[in-house]
Structure 1
Amino acid sequence: MPNPTPHPPAAKMTIEVYTVTRDGAVTSPRTTVVVPHTYEPPPDQRGPQLPPCACPLHHPAPTAPAPLPSSTGIMRAYASWLLDQTAVPRVATTQRFGRDFHAYVTALVPATEHLARALAPDDIPAALALVSADTARRRLAERPDAVAARDLARVRRLAQSVVALCDHHDALTGVLMCLICDRPIEPGDCHVAYDTPSRRIHRRCAPALTPATRSPVPRCTRAVRNSPHPAPPRST
């Protein structure tokens, strides 16, 4: 191997470039690269964080969520019944409601997020659904309380998430459900508001409510499925 070129005294680093034959024999130097002491490398534009991994092992293809344990109408009615109660239920009843609502929210959160993330990032109903799902996920982490009053408050919060997620799920799927018969309001069906503009019932189901209140049945509206968000959901 030939003797290397003497390093200049002001060099920070000297790189000798040689030619190597197929047999591994080193020939004479081809060039010499001298790095002066005044050289400073350019800043790394990538920053301290490496780009996220995009391999299929760490980012598998998204799968469809599991089917809901029941229809959104049944789950909404079940949760609304507890929210409408003024009397304090028994401890065993509260625990049963808590288990059921926990299962409902566990299924509704991924289903709602799957529908919301399939829409545009600037879609307002989808963004509201994601916020409601995040709130419901935090409520799922709440532990049962030994004090009956505090545990009832926890179960009521789960019931509020059940109602809100059902409303968001129906809004994102473009489905209007009758709160009386728990059947879809098909295009062309006449429907009226129940207690809020986003909660609807069939016009033919409205007489079941009017004899007790003796209030006139409001004028009906024809269901139209032109919009992907037929009614604004209730917030949590």
Structure 2
Amino acid sequence: MTGTEAESGTLTLDTTVMRKTVRRLLGPDDAADVLPPAADELAALTARLREHLALLMPAVDQLAARLPSNSIPRYCALACLGEARQKLRAAPSPVPGGAVAYARRLGRSLAALVDHHERLTGVMMCLACDQLIREDEESRPYDQVSPSGGAVRSGRIHARCANTVRRH
């Protein structure tokens, strides 16, 4: 158990831990070449993803409900919630690799919901190091650009992370 779990073994809403759980399955950038975990670890990881989703979904739903009904962030968060609910209701395919694909779909939904939660609460995470950007820290805007020229992920990074080389 991590330090963010209560003595009873229940999870707390800690988006940093949730992001770390997703990275264990998807790698730092949802890389297709990440090796899947062993079957027993995959089962535990899938259960953890489901627990994180069950904890985060009501929180995002409540935050979105506070926004005006014509709000784009509200619409996007609710659409993401709908996708996450569908993925939770689905079952892994019995074909080889089906359990890994299912877990990765859950992981992507969790990552998206964490992003929505952070946007709706005003929390800002560094896109380079996945650590919280505090108000007293210098940060810079950042757009991760795809080969086709569009921004894949935009947000902010710590000033200290601006010249850091990420190795995958």
TM-score, normalization by structure 1: 0.54
Equivalent residue number for residue 189 of structure 1: 138
Equivalent pairs counted in the alignment come to: 146
Check conservation: 2:123, 2:132, Cα contact below 8 A.
no
Equivalent residue number for residue 16 of structure 2: 73
Cα distance in 1 between the residues matched to 2:88 and 2:166:
40
Which runs of 5 or more residues in structure 2 are unaligned?
1-9, 145-151
Cα distance in 2 between the residues matched to 1:167 and 1:123:
17
Match for 2:159: what amino acid?
R
Match for 1:191: what amino acid?
R
Cα distance in 2 between the residues matched to 1:197 and 1:185:
20
Bigger drift between 128-137 and 177-186 goes to 177-186
* Structure of higher RCO (CA pairs closer than 8 Å, 6+ residues apart): 2
Equivalent residue number for residue 158 of structure 2: 202
Cα distance in 2 between the residues matched to 1:167 and 1:140:
18
> Helix, strand or coil for the counterpart of 1:88?
coil
Check conservation: 1:73, 1:178, Cα contact below 8 A.
no
Give the root-mean-square deviation of aligned CA atoms. 2.7
Equivalent residue number for residue 140 of structure 1: 88
Structure-2 change in CA distance of 1:144 and 1:69 (3 Å) = farther
Once the two structures are TM-superposed, the CA of residue 199 in structure 1 deviates from its matched residue by 4.0
Cα distance in 2 between the residues matched to 1:131 and 1:68:
25
Check conservation: 2:133, 2:158, Cα contact below 8 A.
no
Q: Which has the larger radius of gyration?
A: 1
**Higher helix share goes to which structure?**
2
Structure-2 change in CA distance of 1:80 and 1:192 (3 Å) = farther
Q: Tell whether 2:107 aligns with 1:107.
A: no
Check conservation: 2:53, 2:110, Cα contact below 8 A.
yes
Cα distance in 1 between the residues matched to 2:101 and 2:143:
26
**1:163-178 equivalences in 2 (<5 Å):** 163-178=111-126
- Listed one character per residue, the Cα deviations across residues 120-165 of structure 1 (whole Å, up to 9, x for unaligned) are 0000111110010011011111234554411111111100101100
Cα distance in 2 between the residues matched to 1:199 and 1:162:
18
Check conservation: 1:73, 1:177, Cα contact below 8 A.
no
Structure-2 change in CA distance of 1:149 and 1:197 (3 Å) = closer
Equivalent residue number for residue 76 of structure 2: 128
